[in-house]
Amino acid sequence: MQLGMIGLGKMGGNMARRLRRAGMEIVGFNQDTDATEALAAEEGLVAASSAEDLVARLDSPRLVWLMLPAGDVTENYVQQMADLLDEGDVLIDGANSYFKDSMRRAEVLAERGIRFVDAGVSGGVWGLDNGYAMMVGGADDAFAAVQPIIEALAPARDRGWVHTGPAGSGHYVKMIHNGIEYGMMQAFAEGFALMKGREDFNLDLGDIAESWRHGSVVRSWLLDLSAEVLADDADLSGIEPFVADSGEGRWTALEGIEQGIPTPVMSLALMARFATQGQQDYSAKLLAMMRNAFGGHAVKAN
């Protein structure tokens, strides 16, 4: 089976490796030609010099997978592919794109007879060895065309992937997945912070995390990763208390507002990330000044 892949960074590169090891022919293009050349030498990937060259090297009906940052970069390539691909070809977007963008793109491409698949991908840097969790949206015929690829990327052919429904549903389910992830991560972080703060018990956080990995109802891959981190450095020395957000958490919070469904855990976890980014600094300063103004309480100066 043949697949064109545009975007060979950490995720895309490892996905290409996994597919090559499953015996698939991968034609790859990346703006950083070093990444493409390295994969060509390492895995036998066919290196394309441009998006146009990639499309020209593929047999019809073509399958092209975009593994690029969500937003303008993906949008630009979708528009480019709309001009390069033919009727019956399939374009797959594996980025964390907003599901409404995916629905719009599917409609625009359908006018040209190009089929669209939105693939939510989870697994990070561990996916090469463990496989990727795949949440895939698209019409039945489009999904059938890419199903062997999905099965090769997943942990096993019969598990770890799901055809979620029409175009847009894959990225929608991945969005909710990431919102849940925000809440789980925040709960673990707060719990371990409380235990670290109880200095009179002199708790070994690494040992506690390791014990929870076996038999506990909170055991999970996130706990496995946390246990490894805490075993190495429970004080997390040298780490800045800054947590980025990719956009998925914001979209999940907005979805809760649009549906009128309360999502306090996921929404507050997003707010906690904003606080680490300095977005609470001004309001905290104003709170300190209000407290000083009505009660004469001291203000801590810089």
Give the CATH number for residue 42. 3.40.50.720
Instruction: Please provide residue 212's backbone torsions phi and psi, each rounded to the nearest 5 degrees.
Output: -65, -20
The pair of three-digit structure tokens given for residue 7, joined into one six-digit string: 């975007």
Return the pLDDT at 124. 85
This prediction's pTM: 0.93
pLDDT band at 111 (very low <50, low <70, confident <90, very high): very high
Residue of 181, 196, 210, 255 with catalytic role: 181
At 245-273, the pLDDT tens digits run 988 999 999 999 999 999 999 999 999 99
Whether residues 127 and 251 share a domain: the answer is no
Please name the residue that has the structure tokens 């374009």.
Answer: 91
Whether residues 17 and 132 share a domain: the answer is yes
Return the pLDDT at 189. 96
Number of domains in the chain: 2
Return the pLDDT at 125. 84
Higher per-residue pLDDT: 125 or 272: 272
**What is the C-alpha to C-alpha distance for residues 36 and 31, in angstroms, rounded to an integer?**
9
Give me the percent of the chain exceeding a pLDDT of 90: 95
Whether residues 66 and 197 share a domain: the answer is no
**What is the C-alpha to C-alpha distance for residues 214 and 217, in angstroms, rounded to an integer?**
9
**What is the C-alpha to C-alpha distance for residues 224 and 36, in angstroms, rounded to an integer?**
33
Say which CATH number the domain at 262 has: 1.10.1040.10
Cβ-proximal residues to 209 (8 Å cutoff; 6+ apart), any chain: 192, 223, 226, 227, 230, 231
Give the structural domain span for 218.
Answer: 175-287
Whether residues 144 and 206 share a domain: the answer is no
Q: Tell me if 195 sits within 8 A of 203, measured CB to CB.
A: yes
Element (H, E) at 142: helix 140-153
pLDDT band at 38 (very low <50, low <70, confident <90, very high): very high
Whether residues 179 and 160 share a domain: the answer is no
At 139-185, the pLDDT tens digits run 999 999 999 999 999 999 999 999 999 999 999 999 999 999 999 99
At 39-93, the pLDDT tens digits run 999 999 999 999 999 999 999 999 999 999 999 999 999 999 999 999 999 999 9
Closest CA to 251 of 152, 146, 174: 174
Give me the percent of the chain exceeding a pLDDT of 70: 100
Whether residues 262 and 238 share a domain: the answer is yes
Task: Look at residues 127, 146, 166 and tell me which one is the last residue of a structural domain.
Answer: 166
- Whether 181 is a known active-site residue: answer yes
Mean pLDDT in residue range 98-120: 98
